[in-house]
Homo-oligomer: A and B are copies of this chain.
Amino acid sequence: MKQPLRVGIAGLGTVGGSVARLLARHAEGLALRAGRRVALTAVCARDRTRDRGVDLGQATWHEDAVALARDPQVDCVVELIGGDEGPARTLVETALAAGKHVVTANKALLAKHGMGLARIAEENGVALAFEASAAGGVPVVKTLREGLAGNAVSQVSGILNGTCNYILSRMEAEGLSFAECLADAQRLGYAEADPTFDVEGFDTAHKLAILTSLAFGVALDPEAIYVEGISKIAPLDLKMASELGYRIKLLGVAERTQTGIEQRVHPTMVPRISSLAQVMGVTNAVTIDADAVGELTLIGPGAGGDATASAVIADICDVAAGVVRPAFGLPAARLAPPERAPMQRHEGGYYIRLSVYDRPGSAAGIATRMAQADISLESIIQHRARTADADPTGRSGAPVPVVLITYATTEAAIREALARIDADGHVAEPPQVIRIERE
């Protein structure tokens, strides 16, 4: 049997500890699968004293991540520090340049510096593997990179953030507000103390950037992503979605359109019967549409120490087996420059909830503005306010919610029509706009 693959882990938190334990527990199986043993020879973590449930006595402890990247006893560096700059970036760049394979779960680093890192990996003939960086334990990176070589992908859409899906699932099931569900998510450890990164869609955007590159053979282009979070979703929107046969999910969607690759993250109405609509709680899911295979959906845990570690171990096993392929499917220099499809040209159906002053002419005025922007309405639903101070005669002009569902139109048309409706003084609040993905 060949020499063992010598692995160094930087970062021994929840995921890193689990990786160390799984390497020990599956040592024999990994050796048989890869044709060589995998040995944990170095680690780097702040706290040496914490019990991680595994004997690390054989591993060299490094104070400094860069020292681990330069350790001649390490063939493969596992980066689990996190962050798109600082030690994580230096560690990965140093390791690749030193001819060491790198396995990482760091979506922020990849979204920002993935192209440069892929180039360094290729120049040095080593692997840059990152199954754990998107959708956690779900093998979507491998599927896109290796499993669909005979396909042209037309769309990738996914529930890529468990925190958001948990909050939306509970809001729908229990009729609670965003703030109430967020507080619960924080109590249960599903959301950070500062939840902005998750609930405003930035985490989903990082993951989407990675999947877009893999799916379409284009260079990473995270700055092109339109990003909108879930903090403005109201219980009424979830109720209306349900009445209309939809569920609201925070989706990351990348799509090949006539104008280029459209990348967007936003709350989305998906048909209740679709695979993605069934995915509740912290679970992640990705649906891929491709010309040969048709529609594939992968569902599984998007976070958690063991689930993420499962993806890291799969990458380590590939590295041990000698698999060195271009990080993003194609060689970095051959990835097409991203052709951005501007969000203004997005086409699709829209759910628009307006808070309309209930007085003569409002409805006609709104309908006229939509027609002027060439928007056809599939349905109009008016739910009268039922609060104590609502006016039962409907003559006071107090605002009432009105929901419009449009046929396919463009983002630009919607924005134009809503600006005019606002200027006309028909609405009391900024409109709620939720894009619809039909089957």
Contacts and interface: CB of A to CB of B under 8 A. Distances in A.
Contacts of A23: 150
A146 B299 contact: no
A275 to B, nearest CB: 6
B32 A331 contact: yes
A292 B309 contact: yes
B294 A149 contact: no
Contacts of A142: 139, 142-143, 146-147
A148 interface: yes
Interface stretch (A196-204, A219-227, A319-327, A426-434): A319-327
A95 to B, nearest CB: 21
A241 interface: no
A290 B314 CA distance: 13
A318 interface: yes
Most B CB within 10 A of own CB, among A146, A275, A329: A146
B138 A296 contact: yes
Interface string A322-342: 110110011100100000000
A149 B26 contact: yes
Given A142-B142, A275-B278, A317-B150, A298 B297 contact: yes
Given A142-B147, A297-B298, A309-B150, A29 B292 contact: no
A142 B26 CA distance: 19
A36 to B, nearest CB: 12
A265 interface: no
A64 B22 CA distance: 49
Interface stretch (A2-10, A40-48, A300-308): A300-308
A3 B329 CA distance: 20
A316 to B, nearest CB: 8
B313 A150 contact: yes
Contact of A29 (B18, B131, B217, B314): B217
Interface residues of A, number: 60
A22 B292 CA distance: 8
- Classify the interface of chain A: helix, strand, loop or mixed: mixed
Interface string A12-43: 00000010001100100110111100000000
19 contacts: A22-B150, A26-B151, A30-B150, A32-B331, A32-B334, A131-B147, A137-B292, A138-B296, A139-B147, A142-B146, A150-B309, A150-B312, A150-B314, A275-B278, A292-B309, A293-B301, A296-B300, A297-B300, A299-B299
A137 B306 contact: no
Contact of A329 (B22, B33, B293): B33
B301 A18 contact: no
Interface in A185-234: 217
Contacts of A331: 32
Given A292-B18, A300-B293, A301-B295, A26 B150 contact: yes
Given A33-B326, A142-B142, A294-B304, 18 more contacts: A22-B150, A26-B149, A26-B151, A29-B217, A29-B330, A32-B334, A33-B329, A33-B330, A139-B142, A142-B143, A275-B299, A278-B278, A293-B311, A294-B300, A296-B299, A297-B297, A297-B299, A322-B322
A406 interface: no
Nearest to A331: B32
A302 to B, nearest CB: 11
Nearest to A142: B147
A209 to B, nearest CB: 20
Q: Which 8 A-B pairs have the closest CB atoms?
A: A150-B313, A149-B317, A292-B310, A139-B147, A137-B293, A296-B300, A293-B310, A297-B299
A291 B306 contact: yes
A325 B36 CA distance: 12
A160 to B, nearest CB: 15
A199 B291 CA distance: 29
Contact of A290 (B33, B292, B310, B321): B310
